[in-house]
Amino acid sequence: MKEIAIYPGTFDPITNGHIDIIERAAGIFKKVIIGVAEETYKECMFTLEERVELTREGTKYIPNVEVESFSGLAVNYVMNRDSSVMIRGLRAVSDFEYELQIALANRTLSEEVETIFLIPQIKYLYLSSSLVKQILSAGGSINGYVPESIREKMAEKFKEKKQYEL
Ligand code: ADP
């Protein structure tokens, strides 16, 4: 039996939906390691360092949670961290096909790693990092969508980027 679970993802940026899943996982496993993916097929708004920093700050109140970055295949990362459990979150139907595909591909890559899906509260079912990015881009409030503790920091980082682009 493994006591460590790994929650890999892009976290661009972390939202209250991710936090909901992390709290649930932290209540089941002795330790939860959040793996912020270095390489991603998605174009990120925040750098790897920023994604790690925001995720770390947003989860620091949970004692058995650690945050780090990883590169390469998520299944290899899970095994390297001496775990066999990968946590993923399931939202509305739209996530299902994608998550099933990833979970089955990961099983083909490693039979040792089991994917466990957790479901957030209803209010987070339609919350995504993309939505947060859209709101930030339009200058709206992300109140209620991201952890209170990092809301300002996230908005500041976004503003800095905008200025830099101009
Ligand atoms: P990835 O690029 O690996 O999908 P994300 O950071 O977008 O990375 O998501 C990581 C995991 O968290 C995925 O399993 C995703 O479905 C889940 N997730 C994202 N937002 C929510 C949410 N609001 N509620 C529950 N799970 C979520």
pLDDT per residue over 65-95, tens digit each? 999 999 999 999 999 999 999 999 999 887 8
3-state secondary structure (DSSP) of residue 4:
strand
How many A from CA of 1 to the centre of ligand 1? 25
pLDDT level of residue 160 (50, 70, 90 thresholds): confident
In whole angstroms, what is the distance from residue 165 CA to residue 56 CA? Answer: 26
Parent domain of 131: 4-165
> For ligand 1, what atom is nearest to the CA of residue 117?
14
Question: Measured between alpha carbons, how far apart are the two ends of the chain, in Å?
Answer: 53
Residue 89 CB contacts under 8 Å (≥ 6 apart), including other chains: 17, 18, 20, 21, 95, 117, 118, 119, 120
User: In this structure, what CATH number is given to the domain that contains residue 151?
Assistant: 3.40.50.620
Calculate what percentage of the chain has a pLDDT beyond 90: 83
Q: Which residue, by CA, sits nearest to atom 27 of ligand 1?
A: 89
Total of domains in the chain? 1
pLDDT level of residue 10 (50, 70, 90 thresholds): very high
How many A from CA of 7 to the centre of ligand 1? 9
**Residue 1 pLDDT:** 56
Residue 115 CB contacts under 8 Å (≥ 6 apart), including other chains: 86, 87, 88, 102, 103, 106, 107
